[in-house]
Amino acid sequence: ARVKAYAAVDLGASSGRVMVGRVGPDSLELTEAHRFPNRPVRTPEGLRWDVLGLYAGMLDGLRAAGRVDSVGIDSWAVDYGLLDADGALLGNPVHYRDSRTEGVAEKVWATVPAEELYAATGLQYAPFNTLYQLTAASHSAQLAHAERLLLIPDLLTYWLTGEQGTELTNASTTQLVDPRTRDWSYDLASRLGIDLHLFAPLRQPGDPAGLLRAEVLEETGLTGPVPVTAVGSHDTASAVAAVPADGERFAYICTGTWSLAGLELDAPVLTEESRAANFTNELGLDGTVRYLRNIMGLWLLQECVRAWGEPELGALLPAAGQVPALRSVVDAGDAAFLAPGRMPERIAEACRASGQPVPVSPAEVTRCILDSLALAHRRAIDEAQRLADHPVDVVHVVGGGTRNALLCQLTADACGLPVVAGPAEAAALGNVLVQARTHGLVGDLGDGRRLLTRTQPLTRYEPRGDAARWREAEARLTDG
Binding site for ligand LRH (CB under 6 A): 12-13, 76-78, 96, 234-236, 257-258, 260, 294
Query: Which positions from 315 through 334 interact with ligand ADP, judged by CB under 6 A?
Result: 317
CA separation for the pair 252, 391 (Å, rounded): 12
CA separation for the pair 353, 30 (Å, rounded): 46
Residue 199 DSSP code: B
Task: Give the relative orientation of helices 362-388 and 299-307 as an angle to the nearest 10 degrees.
Answer: 170
**Cα–chain center distance at 468:** 31
CA separation for the pair 124, 275 (Å, rounded): 7
Longest dimension (CA), the chain: 64
CB nearer to ligand LRH: give 367 or 379: 379
* Residue 105 interacting entry, from ligand LRH, ligand ADP, none, C-beta within 5 to 8 Å by type: none
| Least distance between ligand LRH and beta carbon 295 (Å) | 10
C-beta of residue 299 within 8 angstroms of C-beta of residue 335: no
CA separation for the pair 282, 406 (Å, rounded): 29
**Cβ atoms within 10 Å of 166's Cβ, excluding its own:** 25
* Residue 401 interacting entry, from ligand LRH, ligand ADP, none, C-beta within 5 to 8 Å by type: ligand ADP
C-beta of residue 235 within 8 angstroms of C-beta of residue 263: no
* Residue 250 interacting entry, from ligand ADP, ligand LRH, none, C-beta within 5 to 8 Å by type: none
Query: Which positions from 1 through 40 interact with ligand ADP, judged by CB under 6 A?
Result: 12-15
CB nearer to ligand ADP: give 265 or 421: 421
Quick check: bond before 127 cis, omega within 30? no
| Least distance between ligand ADP and beta carbon 31 (Å) | 16
CA separation for the pair 383, 279 (Å, rounded): 9
Residues with a catalytic annotation lie at 235
CB nearer to ligand LRH: give 7 or 77: 77
| Least distance between ligand ADP and beta carbon 422 (Å) | 12
> Taking the CA atoms of the chain, what radius of gyration do you get in angstroms?
21
Task: With H, G, I as helix, E, B as strand and everything else as coil, classify residue 426.
Answer: helix
| Least distance between ligand ADP and beta carbon 180 (Å) | 29
3-state helix, strand, coil in the chain (%, to 5): 45, 20, 35
Quick check: bond before 463 cis, omega within 30? no
| Least distance between ligand ADP and beta carbon 107 (Å) | 30
CB nearer to ligand LRH: give 232 or 244: 232
CB nearer to ligand LRH: give 236 or 404: 236
Query: Does residue 122 belong to the site contacting ligand ADP (CB under 6 A)?
Result: no
* Residue 77 interacting entry, from ligand ADP, ligand LRH, none, C-beta within 5 to 8 Å by type: ligand LRH
Query: Does residue 403 belong to the site contacting ligand ADP (CB under 6 A)?
Result: yes
Query: Which positions from 285 through 314 interact with ligand ADP, judged by CB under 6 A?
Result: 298, 301-302, 313
CB nearer to ligand ADP: give 101 or 366: 366
Residue 428 DSSP code: H
Applying CB under 6 A, among 174, 257, 431, 435 the residue interacting with ligand ADP is 257
- Site residues (vs ligand ADP, CB under 6 A): 12-15, 256-257, 298, 301-302, 313, 317, 399-401, 403-404
